[in-house]
Amino acid sequence: MQTVDLVLKNGVVVTPSGRLEGGVAIDEGKIVLVGKEAHLPSADSIIDVKGRLILPGMIDAHVHFRDPAKEGGDPQMEDFASGTAAAAAGGITTVFDMPGSAPPVLSASVLEDKVRAIQNKAYVNFGLYGGAGIQNLEHFKELASAGVIAFKTFMITGSSYCATDDLSLLRVFEGVAATDLPCSVHAETGSVVDYLIGRLSAEGRRDPSAHPESRPNWVEAEAISKALILSDAARARVHIAHMSTREGAHLVGLAKAAGKRVTVETCPQYLLLTAEEMKRKGPYAKINPPLRSASDVRALWEALRKGIVDVVASDHAPHTQGDKDVGFTDIWKAGPGMPGVETMLPLMLTKVNEGAISLEDLVRVMSESVSKVFDLYPRKGTVQVGSDADLTIVDMKKEKTIKIGDLHTRARNLVVYDGWKVKGAPIGTIVCGQLVMWEGEKVGKQGVGRFVTPIRGWMSAA
């Protein structure tokens, strides 16, 4: 083989069939060889990974970078540059950004404008969701043709891409089914949540613990049940976003056993934290759906190990400190969501070291299965010849303490894991064959990341 662009040597490559001591050769952004040290070609650049693991690039399937932002917005808000820098520092090679930019991604023209606005900022690859609500049904096919990675629908109120009643949700699922792309659903019934918030507010409740009380487990379970029934009727691919309850895991498990077209995502916060965090962190721990009980945490881990959970994503939702701090006196005024794209992988690697899950399960829910759910496999999600050269190098022995001052997200002060000790960390992030992070520091340039679109979906099904 002729000289290639880059060789990673002296590593342990994690492949679908097992682990291989050796390395990876990369040329023109593609993997061209995976093999033993003696078989690696000469290269313009060689990185000795010193026995660390070479994983398929980690994918965060759920982030909110909110770029482009509204005119006159707060300059301290996250944008695509800071968000993807945080992703790269956290070992993430690809992110899927939600439609909530300004304006929201409800048509192909807005999608194209967003790509132009953010592509030169990106340190990592990016896919983009299209909003799917009752208001923009006529735009679903054009959004699919323009390359959205999937659709997002809220079952709660307050969004321009929501479906808050049964008929609206059925019509949205029918429209998305025609594109053969997944529809990611925020499964909480808006009218019920609004009623419960109103009742608690009337009682004078403004304290942080009122938030999880306003969205009990059964609210998510009822919405998931409805989404499963209506998506099946429409023959749509439904993806349950940020599942947080044992009841949800049970329902999805039954649907999968029956062969329904459902996949599911959960997040590190639902695997690591409980509602008690509201008493310690107040509005910084306010997320939707809310943090749950220890029994819910145990049920989600069991669902992950059984393969019911397909995806672990961060739901990275940064706010300014002011947007959160108002919640210390009135929890209803605080913005929901927490930053997590940069801390997700170290936290999950720590759970691998603790024996909560295997490394193979981690690779499945943060790379391989993600790429399959969103129609990118085997271009992404695996270390094999012909795949894109997106790789995450991890050191399973590296110990450190998460410190907000070390983070790259602009919402670093809101990270609830400040002071947590982790064992296992990403030490290198390679995107499109280029090193963009090494030992936690940015070494790549903006614009390296590429806009990724599904292999299947509307373009191939039409």
Q: Each residue of 284-328: pLDDT tens digit?
A: 999 999 999 999 999 999 999 999 999 999 999 999 999 999 999
* pLDDT score of 18: 79
Query: Pick from 50, 4, 7: which is nearest to 435 by CA?
Result: 7
Query: Pick from 100, 104, 115, 185: which is nearest to 147 by CA?
Result: 115
pLDDT bucket at 230, cuts 50 / 70 / 90: very high
* Separation of alpha carbons 56 and 93, rounded Å: 9
Q: Each residue of 61-80: pLDDT tens digit?
A: 999 999 999 877 777 899 99
Beta bridge partners, 11, equal 22
* Separation of alpha carbons 372 and 325, rounded Å: 39
* pLDDT score of 459: 40
Run of H or E residues at 353: helix 344-353
Q: Each residue of 81-92: pLDDT tens digit?
A: 999 999 999 999
Run of H or E residues at 300: helix 294-306
Name the DSSP class of 155.
S
* pLDDT score of 15: 77
Backbone angles phi, psi at 205, to 5 degrees: -80, 120
| Neighbour count for residue 336 (Cβ, 10 Å) | 17
Q: Each residue of 369-405: pLDDT tens digit?
A: 999 999 999 999 999 999 999 999 999 999 999 999 9
- Is the pLDDT reported for residue 457 higher than 50? no
- Is the pLDDT reported for residue 461 higher than 60? no
* pLDDT score of 16: 67
Query: Pick from 349, 319, 329: which is nearest to 416 by CA?
Result: 319
* pLDDT score of 158: 86
- Could you give the angle at the alpha carbon of 360 between the alpha carbons of 419 and 285, nearest 5°? 30
Q: Each residue of 166-192: pLDDT tens digit?
A: 999 999 999 999 999 999 999 999 999
Run of H or E residues at 284: none
* Separation of alpha carbons 156 and 299, rounded Å: 25
Could you give the C-alpha distances from 64 to 206, 323, 422, in angstroms and in order? 26, 15, 25
Domain 58-379 falls in which CATH fold? TIM Barrel (3.20.20)
The sign of the dihedral angle between the CA atoms of 384, 386, 392, 395 is: positive
Average pLDDT over the chain reads 96
